[in-house]
Amino acid sequence: MEYTHLGRTGLLVSRLCLGTMNFGPHTSEEDSHAIMDKAIEHGINFIDTANAYGWKLGEGVTEQIIGRWFAQGGGRREKTVIATKVYSKMGEWPNESKLSALHIKRACEDSLKRLQTDHIDLYQMHHIDRETPWEEVWQAMEQLVREGKVIYVGSSNFAGWNIAQGTDFARKRHMMGLVSEQCLYNLLARTVELEILPACEAYGLGVVPWSPLASGLLAGALQKATEGRRSEPGVIERIEHHRTKLEHYEAFCSEMGEHPADVALAWLLSNPVVTAPIIGPRTIDQLNDSLRALEIKLTPDELKKLDEISPGPGGPAPEAFAW
C-alpha cells in the first residue's frame, strides 16, 4: 500500500480511502466487518463514513456497524484513521442539523458513542452552512479539538471560496483550520478543476474524491448495462447521456488491457493534489479488484487521450474561460 500526507498535515493515509456508505443498506454487518478486516490487511488505514449513512433518521446505522467492528479489538481502532461527517438532519427537532455550535457538539458526542471511540481523527463538515457564521463554527470545532474529541477538521462539498473564507477565519483564531476537502470528482465530473482544486492546492488541503467511478458509469457500465444498479432507470438515463464518451473510454481501456474502473481510479491518483479516492465496495472481491489501480501509472500520452475522451473545463479559473 502507498501512503501520503493528508494535505499539509503530518498524518499519513493510504492512497485509497474505504468508503462505507453501502454498509447497512446494501452490505450486511458481517460482510461490512469482513471488508474492513480485509482493507486493514491490504494496508488501507483511511476509512470514511458519515453520521447520516444508513439512511434511518437519527440512527447512524453505518457508524454503529463501524463501532462494533472497533469493539472487536485487535488493533482495529489504532490502525484506522476514521473520518466522519456532521451537517445532515439527524432528527425532527430544530438544531438537529447543519452547523450550529449546538448541533456540532451534540452530533460529535453521538458519533463518538456510535463509533465506540474517544476521538474522531477527521471531522468533516458535510456541506456548507450559509446560515451559521464561521466564528461560531470554528468556536465549536476548536472546543472539540481542545477536548481531544477531534484531531483534524475537513470539509465536503464546499465551493472554492468557502474553503478560502473558512481558512481565513481559522487563521485569525490561530487554528490549523481545514486540512481536507471531500468533493465529487471523476472523469465525467471535472468542475472542481476550476476553483476547488486550485484552492485546496493553495491552502494545503488534501483532496478526497467521492464517486470516483461516477456511480458505476466508469466501471464498464456499457458492458453491464442490464445488471444490478445499472439497470435502474436513472442510471440508464445517465448512461445514454454519456454514451459516446463511455464507448470511447471503454474501448481505450480495452486497448490498454485494463479494467475501466481501475483506469478511472488511476487517473485520479495521477493528480498530485488528490490524496485518496473513496472506494465503496459492496463485496470483498470489489475491494480486492480496486487495488490494481495503485499499480497503473498512466503515461503522458494516456493522460492526454483521457482528456480528449472526457475533457475538463479547460484548466483552473479564470484561464479556463478568460484570456
3-state SS of the chain is: CCEEECCCCCCEEECCEEECCCECCCECHHHHHHHHHHHHHHCCCEEECCCCCCCCCCCCHHHHHHHHHHCCCCCHHHHCEEEEEECCCCCCCCCCCCCCHHHHHHHHHHHHHHHCCCCEEEEEECCCCCCCCHHHHHHHHHHHHHCCCEEEEEEECCCHHHHHHHHHHHHHCCCCCEEEEEEECECCECHHHCCHHHHHHHHCCEEEEECCCCCCCCCCCCCCCCCHHHHCHHHHHHHHHCHHHHHHHHHHHHHHCCCHHHHHHHHHHCCCCECCCEECCCCHHHHHHHHHHHHCCCCHHHHHHHHHHCCCCCCCCCCCCCC
Q: Which residue has the cell 482544486?
A: 197
Strands 81-86 and 46-48: parallel
87 as an active site residue: the answer is no
- Asked if 186 contacts 180 with a C-beta cutoff of 8 angstroms, the reply is no
Could you say which of 3, 53, 87, 203 is catalytic?
Answer: 53
Which cell numbers in the block locate residue 168?
A: 481565513
- Cα-Cα end-to-end distance for the chain: 42
Which cell numbers in the block locate residue 173?
A: 483564531
Distance CA 166, CA 92 (A): 28
Catalytic residues: 53
